[in-house]
């Protein structure tokens, strides 16, 4: 996967050939606790950067996740329908949420690299 970037709302995105794979960070899944259900966006849906993209329900709460970039949903992680715990087990791997075709690659410029995200989380 390409270099991963992070949002302040705890989503990550790795982009290959103009398509980003999006999930939540290990920090976010730790805060949520055991994930029991995921509501993913529909393929073909257009999202603007910062708008709600998916909802993750855990034993603690339901939490919205946001689109780290603007674009069109090209794929969702169907594994999560039957095994939402993959978000806890492998948040940066098998627990990815959706793929999005970037409308503007410059959206990535506002996101943090791993070091900056680590510093951000350490300050929370």
pTM: 0.96
Neighbouring-strand partners of residue 119: none
Give the C-alpha separation, 76 to 90, whole Å.
16
pLDDT of amino acid 85: 97
Q: What is the mean pLDDT of residues 52-72?
A: 97
* CA within 13 Å, CB half, 83: 10
| pLDDT over 80 at 2, yes or no | no
pLDDT in tens, 13-28: 999 999 999 999 999 9
State the CATH architecture for 4-103: Beta Barrel (2.40)
Beta strand residue intervals within the chain, DSSP E: 4-6, 11-16, 19-24, 35-39, 46-47, 52-58, 62-66, 71-76, 98-102
pLDDT of amino acid 73: 98
pLDDT of amino acid 3: 86
């Amino acid at each position: 996967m390409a270099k991963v970037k992070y949002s302040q709302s705890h989503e990550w995105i790795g982009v290959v050939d103009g398509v980003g794979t999006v999930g939540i960070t290990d920090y976010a899944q730790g805060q949520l606790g055991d994930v029991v259900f995921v509501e993913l966006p529909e393929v073909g849906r257009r999202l603007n950067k910062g708008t709600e993209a998916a909802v993750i329900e855990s034993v603690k709460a339901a939490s919205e996740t946001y689109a780290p970039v603007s674009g069109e949903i090209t794929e969702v992680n169907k594994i999560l329908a039957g095994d939402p715990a993959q978000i806890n087990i492998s948040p940066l791997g098998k627990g990815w949420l959706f793929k999005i075709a970037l409308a503007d690659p410059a959206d990535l410029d506002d996101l943090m690299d791993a070091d900056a995200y680590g510093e951000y989380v350490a300050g929370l």
